Structure 1
């Protein structure tokens, strides 16, 4: 006896095509949901570590094929700040590069940049970040005084206290009290701590959440079509 697809109401090939499409749509949907969920997991880790929404939102995700469906969809997740994420996920040891002997760690006394490209020494640095040592010297029109003690160092600069907070250049008008203002004494203020290297704490777990989401994909597909 020979059986053909046309012995039932709808051709078998058409039924298989419809079923395959339904399976592909479900698998693609599951992949999209778990990919987005993994992105949220990573963002939550960043926020829980106290590193704020700005870094958390550098995590992005995409599901392929875009706007379509497939029996073999793929989820892709990345960060727009890969160096920072990598350092805190590995607990990396950061060393000076380019022949430098020290890492310069800014203190809270170092002013933040108010506008991009303010100083030619670092034209590509973004607003809001702390000034570099060269920028600090330009800003206060003074040289940093470096003190080395064993394996650590300290960089000070002579400044005067600002009337509304912070520090200002130690100009003659400020130190001598011109225009009726009280004289302000110039004093050394710590701007940078110098270290040979620094171990970044391991704050992020990338593998654990990724494996959990992969298991979720397999479990959900099995529950729906197994």
Structure 2
């Protein structure tokens, strides 16, 4: 997991009052920082076009989990650390075992499927199984493509977000068009940096003193 933590600054001397009030102010402040950081990290993911599902992997927790403490701490983490890190750094993803990465094109119809026995990003094997159409490999200098007969056409836009589909076939192929590209095969892909998790975490860590002070005054 990717983790971020914020330490409570030593402000007890500045907050003159009973211990319970100090502990309450610190705990409430850390809870607000936790919620704010989690919300901003989730917004950053969705704003980068990476989807709500990945955004929801960010979770936050404040310690102690019950009661109040002058030593309260904030803890924010993600259950998709490798994926978040890849988009945070702009990592290069390479195919394993000297194989290719298969990237579906718009002609594939859908990018993800959900069927009774499983779900996930569509693969050439799954596409062939779901459509009943055999793909043909055409090599290229950088990898290759997997193509289907031209009588297959991609589904209408209104169907492309579905997670299951049936093939739609044309009565005849377009003139001069023998096949359509369903997957592009490449040895590696470079992910564009879309996130800046460290900057977001530092911004909220800097807000800890103000959050505690606001609760103290309240």
Normalised to the residue count of structure 1, the TM-score between the two structures is: 0.71
| Alignment-derived partner of residue 155 in structure 1 | 146
Larger Rg: 1
| Alignment-derived partner of residue 145 in structure 1 | 136
Does the alignment pair 1:199 with 2:190? yes
Partners of 1:169 and 1:19 lie apart in 2 by 73
Q: 1:125 aligns with which of 119, 123, 136?
A: 119
Structure 1: any 5+ residue segments left out of the alignment? 1-17, 118-122, 175-182
Q: Alpha-carbon deviation of 1:159?
A: 5.3
**SS of the residue aligned with 2:207?**
helix
Aligned residue runs from structure 1 range 32-111, under 5 A? 32-97=31-96, 99-111=97-109
- Work out the number of aligned pairs and report it: 188
Q: Alpha-carbon deviation of 1:82?
A: 2.9
Partners of 2:48 and 2:72 lie apart in 1 by 32
Compare relative contact order (CA 8 Å, sep 6+) and give the higher one, 1 or 2. Answer: 2
Partners of 2:155 and 2:137 lie apart in 1 by 28
| Alignment-derived partner of residue 184 in structure 1 | 172
Q: Alpha-carbon deviation of 1:154?
A: 1.0
Partners of 1:150 and 1:163 lie apart in 2 by 26
Q: Alpha-carbon deviation of 1:66?
A: 1.4
| Alignment-derived partner of residue 9 in structure 1 | none
**SS of the residue aligned with 2:99?**
coil
Q: Which moved more, 1:214-223 or 1:132-141?
A: 214-223
Structure 2: any 5+ residue segments left out of the alignment? 1-16, 160-165
Q: Alpha-carbon deviation of 1:30?
A: 0.5
- RMSD after superposition: 2.9
Partners of 1:151 and 1:163 lie apart in 2 by 25
Q: Alpha-carbon deviation of 1:222?
A: 6.4
- For the 8 Å contact 1:140–1:159, the answer to whether it is kept is no
| Alignment-derived partner of residue 207 in structure 2 | 216
Partners of 1:94 and 1:19 lie apart in 2 by 55
Question: Deviation string for 1:105-143 (max 9, x for gaps)?
Answer: 1112224365424xxxxx4434xx4x2111122233333
Partners of 2:188 and 2:139 lie apart in 1 by 15
